[in-house]
């Protein structure tokens, strides 16, 4: 399932953050892998927090509903598909998909607060249950995603740079 999950997310390599997500990685591949160019497939809170940190990866995919009891901070500069010359881009995938890139399951990330400090972060699929605070430009809430909470922006400039195609159940405002 992990391989199908990321096949449409653009990653050729996978970095397993949990033992259940590791069948595609051989020991030789894992030793040569640069964490910033690979994806993190996670199913536990600690692995998720590490994946979204400045030392994490450009794409983070969860394998199930996930509850995190503390604030989640998405930080660091990453590039599309991990390529150094690629556009600045980061993605949180809250879904599973089949070989044809059809979403087959949506997952919920529950956290009291999610702070976005990474530029051009896209949240795709699933639901973030909790308030989201966006401090970086280029935030994108994909049409397949929901924020079950409030969406706050650090400034009018940050809000103007965002693309909100998904659903927000609470307020959307500058705070």
pLDDT digits (tens, 9 = 90+) for 44-91: 999 999 999 999 999 999 999 999 999 999 999 999 888 888 899 999
Burial of residue 87, with CB atoms counted within 10 A of its CB: 0-12 exposed, 13-18 middle, 19 or more buried: exposed
Mean model confidence pLDDT for the chain: 84
CB 39 within 8 A of CB 13: yes
Over residues 108-118, the mean pLDDT reads 99
Query: Residue 157, SS3?
Result: helix
């Amino acid at each position: 399932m992990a391989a199908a999950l990321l096949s449409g997310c653009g990653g050729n390599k996978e970095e397993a953050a949990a033992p259940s997500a590791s069948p595609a990685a051989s020991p030789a591949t894992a030793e040569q892998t640069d964490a910033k160019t690979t994806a993190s497939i996670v199913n536990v809170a600690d692995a998720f927090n590490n994946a979204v940190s400045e030392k994490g990866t450009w794409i983070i995919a969860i394998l199930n509903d996930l509850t995190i009891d503390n604030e989640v901070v998405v930080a660091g500069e990453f590039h599309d598909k991990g390529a150094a010359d690629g556009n600045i881009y980061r993605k949180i995938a809250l879904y599973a998909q089949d070989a044809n890139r059809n979403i087959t399951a949506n997952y919920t990330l529950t956290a009291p607060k999610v702070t976005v400090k990474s530029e051009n972060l896209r949240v795709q699929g699933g639901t973030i249950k909790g308030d989201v605070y966006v401090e970086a430009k280029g935030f994108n809430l994909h049409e397949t995603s929901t924020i079950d909470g409030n969406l706050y922006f650090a400034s009018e400039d940050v809000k103007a740079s965002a693309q909100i195609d998904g659903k927000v159940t609470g307020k959307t405002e500058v705070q």
